[in-house]
Amino acid sequence: MKVNKLVEIYAKANYAVSAVGAARGEAHHPGPLWYHAIGLFNAFYAINEELRKRTKNGTDVHLTAAVDAWWQTNRDVVSAFFGDARNTATHQGEIVTEAFVEWELDVANDTEHPIAKASVTVKNSTIKKMPGVEFLDLCERALTFMRDGVLAINADYKARGGIDHALPDNRYKNLF
């Protein structure tokens, strides 16, 4: 059985985008935020590696050409999302998630209420005391970009005459 590489990578990338939504419920808790940060960093890395390397471990020249073209166009964008932060966090353990408190103004009752939140810091990166919600927004943008990259690669692949690894047409497009 032949594995359809774009279908497989698209499924992983699409799930990773959904995983950010699941992580949002824990954005204000340092422990779970750390867990999700490591997982989302690694998902981004794995999707990137599969696109750039695994798709080339075959004989489909159309797939290799489509991936190469996408990578040449988007290399800087992909690198800009996290830089070396993923490597620093996952291989060196230089990631800190910490709790902090923000005070929310309650005008109607003439008072303030404490709101527990958490932030992410990765040593030697642009991620410094980034509130958990903002960090997850960054992860969502990065993973959505990669998922949409698979769609762009698929369109180019089909335009080049590729068949074996093409994403199937949307089976529901003519439902209504």
Residue identified by tokens 């992909």 is: 78
Measured in Å, how far apart are the chain's first and last C-alpha atoms?
A: 34
> With 80 as the cut, is the pLDDT of residue 36 above it?
yes
Who's near 62: CB < 8 A, 6+ residues apart? 157, 160, 161, 162
Q: Take residue 37 and report the two structure tokens written for it.
A: 């940060």
Q: How confident is the model at residue 121 (pLDDT cuts 50, 70, 90)?
A: very high
Q: Take residue 34 and report the two structure tokens written for it.
A: 């750390």
Beta strand 111-122 with 130-131 is antiparallel
Q: Take residue 125 and report the two structure tokens written for it.
A: 């990166």
Question: What is the predicted pLDDT for the residue at 2?
Answer: 78
Q: What mean pLDDT value characterizes the chain?
A: 92
Q: How confident is the model at residue 173 (pLDDT cuts 50, 70, 90)?
A: low
- Rounded distance between C-alpha atoms, residue 134 and residue 114, angstroms: 19
Q: What is the DSSP code (8-state) at residue 109? A: G
